[in-house]
């Protein structure tokens, strides 16, 4: 089931049209739930998809963490706050 969701995510990223003049910051969780090999595989797929997107949209900055799950804003709020502050500073 999760693999199907990533297939759909993959097709969206490959066809997504985006303005090239806007900064993008993507926060990526690489935390694996336990020793589940299928979850590790999904993390690797996600990483591949996000790197593909970054190549297609080079102004994309990827911030990765192994300490947070899906809710990075709860587990490591400083990552979100720092990313927002950095983007605001760049736009000034």
For 75, the domain range is 2-91
SS3 content of the chain, % helix, strand, coil (to 5): 60, 15, 30
Domain count, the chain: 1
Burial class (CB in 10 A: 0-12, 13-18, 19+), 68: buried
Q: In this predicted structure, what is the pLDDT of residue 1? A: 46
Tally the residues of the chain.
92
Q: Give the pLDDT of the chain (92 residues) as one tens digit per residue.
A: 455 655 666 666 666 666 677 889 999 999 887 777 788 888 888 899 999 989 988 899 999 999 998 899 999 999 999 999 999 998 88
Q: How far apart are CA 85 and CA 9, in angstroms?
A: 28
């Amino acid at each position: 089931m999760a693999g199907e969701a990533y297939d759909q995510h993959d097709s969206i990223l490959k066809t997504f049209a985006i303005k090239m003049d806007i900064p993008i910051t993507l926060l990526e969780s690489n935390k694996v739930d336990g020793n589940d090999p299928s979850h590790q595989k999904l993390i690797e797929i996600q990483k591949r998809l996000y790197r593909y997107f970054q190549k297609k949209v080079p102004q994309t900055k990827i911030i990765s963490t192994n300490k947070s799950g899906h809710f990075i804003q709860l587990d490591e709020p400083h990552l979100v706050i720092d990313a927002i502050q950095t983007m605001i500073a760049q736009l000034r």
